[in-house]
Amino acid sequence: MGITDQLSGEQESAVGADTGGLRHELAQQLRVDSVRASAAVGSGHPTSSMSAAELMAVLLDGYLRLDFCEPQDPRRDHLIFSKGHASPLYYSVLKAAGAIGDEELLTFRKFGSRLEGHPTPRIPPTDVATGSLGQGLPIGVGLAVAGKQLDRLPYRVWVLCGDSEMSEGSIWEAFQHAGWAGLDNLCAIVDINRLGQTRETMLGWDLAGYAARARAFGWHAIEIDGHDTDAIDAAYREVVQTTDRPTVVLAHTLKGKGVKAVENQNGYHGKPLPDPEEAIAELGGERHLRVTPTPTADGGPPHRFECSGGELPRWELGEEVATREAYGQALAALGNLRGDVVALDGEVSNSTHSELFAEAHPDRYFEMFIAEQQMVAAAVGMQVRGWSPFASTFAAFLSRAYDFIRMAAVSRANLRLVGSHAGVSIGEDGPSQMALEDFAALRAVHGSAVVHPSDANQVTPLVAEMADRPGISYMRTLRGKTPVRTDPEEEIRIGGSRVVRSSGEDDVTVVACGATVEEAVQAAEELARQRVHVRVIDCYSIKPIDAAALRAAARKSRAIVTVEDHWPEGGLGEAVESALAAEPGRPPIQRLAVADMPISGKPAELLHAARIDAEAIVGAVRDQLTS
């Protein structure tokens, strides 16, 4: 390890053989390169990068056990820029470590470049995308948990945070969980430069205030001058020697450090420096220092869990089973077959039935309590290391973590989310628990899949497929029991559907999912007694939707009726209309959905009030035939 390559004669004379001097020169190089990268494109956050230069220089030279050219080493440390807007600094670190060259550095923010405005995994060894503040530290918690309890390797997770994001609630969810879990392999480095985007931050340079908060959550807190390389070195030594709790290094810094025109000045956030050439000269000119990485710690290969084998569950036709219970059984059985599957829950495992996985695989189950942002972030962190996380809670509560889900897609993360207790069919709990927007929200996530099985035998193959599917997958499960209508031998897949009933004389097709499938079947039976023939499609995959089955039905039907336990916007009905938008001569489509704000009541009462029950479906079919 160490700093090598050339300095100018004047620079070398000033430095001599002093390690602190070399680190100072490395910090200046990081500043200069941050200025250069931002100037080349005319945008970026150089001043936010300049404040943390010494913090990264010392970390890079001696503490970060990460060969940037060998990012696949499972023993390596992980560096997360939670303050992702300081990407010029991050890319300057990559250059100093030899992961990129100077030519690529100057492609920052340009179309086609791997060096995007905020870091993404397109540029190794970046683990996750950041830039939406408050996410890096919670994800770091997930990585630290993976290191201690899953991989069982001695790697450390270093997270650079900004002081502005310390106002985010998700940051304190992370502080709370990491302190509770004793994650001594996690270090948060907080760059306290006092200035946010428009004004001074809430606590300014009150390092003692930050420290008191951190200690209250069980962290070891160190307060330092963030531009003193010796003080930083001493703090990092203390980090690696602390073995019973996570550590936060609280660094007093100056935004725009080293350039008089912008140092500690408001109004320069997110802007290139007004005179970059003069600033580079003031910083001592360009350098070409190279840092040799610190060797990774010993520890052998990552831990792997043994599998006991067995079969996935299946149910007899006609059984009454809640799909949430089927989820718990299917996940527990999948855990017997696959040692990479892990489960997280937001302290409602007896409702989601992930408790069945916890009982079968306690070493792979993680209680995240009522902290949904931290739960999703931890799952993102775990999948970085190749684990296959399933995260479950009430569907309504996932909305709290929506930005984490959105950013997980930017991270190209493989994430499986399961939401129970959704729709008016949950009954007396009332609208705060009903999640009538979950299909719309999750359909809008790039590359996502959204499924809503109507019976237990649909759950098992969908859970198994979700475990292998790249990207974000979401399953909504049902609170109440539903009859098993799907044969266990039938093919069920993401992107599929099943025809529940049909004839050669179908007048209308009813497309339903989840709780409304049973209502559609009852309506079809009533209409059959009136000599009206109805095809019923169980559209258990809402995204991707089975467009081929819908087109085939459209060609044979005089009308289509969709029915869903969801708001009209963004759910099943709109997915069906989208799939058939280009179908020539398509029949009319009538959409039944929850239109008015529901109240508490019995499930049957609420389905009827929302006009998504069998009676409403019968009426809609007859309206279509008479019109």
Tokens 């869990």: give the residue.
305
Return d(Cα 128, Cα 18) in angstroms, integer: 36
**Alpha-carbon 578 to chain mean position:** 27
3-state secondary structure 464-521: HHHHHCCCEEEEECCCCEEECCCCCCCCCCCCCCEEEECCCCCCEEEEECCHHHHHHH
The sign of the dihedral angle between the CA atoms of 435, 439, 440, 443 is positive
Short-list 323, 374, 396, CA closest to 178: 374
The Cα 418–Cα 438 span in angstroms is 11
Judge residue 409's burial from the number of C-beta atoms within 10 Å of its C-beta, 0-12 exposed, 13-18 middle, 19 or more buried: middle
Distance CA 90, CA 109 (A): 13
Our CA angle for 305, 310, 316, nearest 5°, is 140
Q: Give the bridge partners for 537, in sequence order.
A: 499, 511
Give the chain's radius of gyration (CA, Å): 28
Bridge partners (DSSP) listed for residue 78: 157
Looking at residue 246, its amino acid is P
Which residues is 160 bridged to in the sheet?
Answer: 81, 189
Residue 162 near residue 223 (C-beta atoms within 8 A): no
Tokens of 451: 């499924």
Closest CA to 251 of 179, 301, 192: 192
List phi, psi (to 5°) of 32: -60, -45
Structure tokens at 181: 């879990």
Q: 458 near 540, Cβ under 8 Å? A: yes
Helix locations, 498-613, DSSP H = 515-529, 547-556, 572-579, 603-609
Q: H-type helices in 147-256, by residue range?
A: 169-181, 207-216, 229-241
How far apart (Å, rounded) are the C-alpha atoms in residues 485 and 321? 11
| DSSP category for residue 148 | I
Residue 449, Ramachandran bin (φ over 0: left; ψ between -120 and 50: alpha; else beta): beta
DSSP 3-state percent helix, strand, coil across the chain (nearest 5):
40, 15, 45
- Interatomic CA distance for residues 202 and 263, integer angstroms: 20
- Best CA proximity match to 36, nearest among 277, 259, 263, 257: 277
Q: Alpha-carbon distance 382 to 384, whole Å? A: 5
CA distance 58 to 226: 11
- Concatenate the DSSP letters of all residues of 132-145 into one string: STT-HHHHHHHHHH
Considering the candidates 165, 173, 282, 372, report the single residue annotated as catalytic.
Answer: 372
Would you call 359 a catalytic residue per the annotation?
no
Task: Reduce the DSSP state of residue 152 to 3 states and report it.
Answer: coil
How far apart CA 126 and CA 128 sit, in angstroms, is: 6
Q: At 538, which helix (H) or strand (E)?
A: strand 534-538
Which residue has tokens 């219970």? Answer: 325
Give the residue numbers marked as catalytic.
372
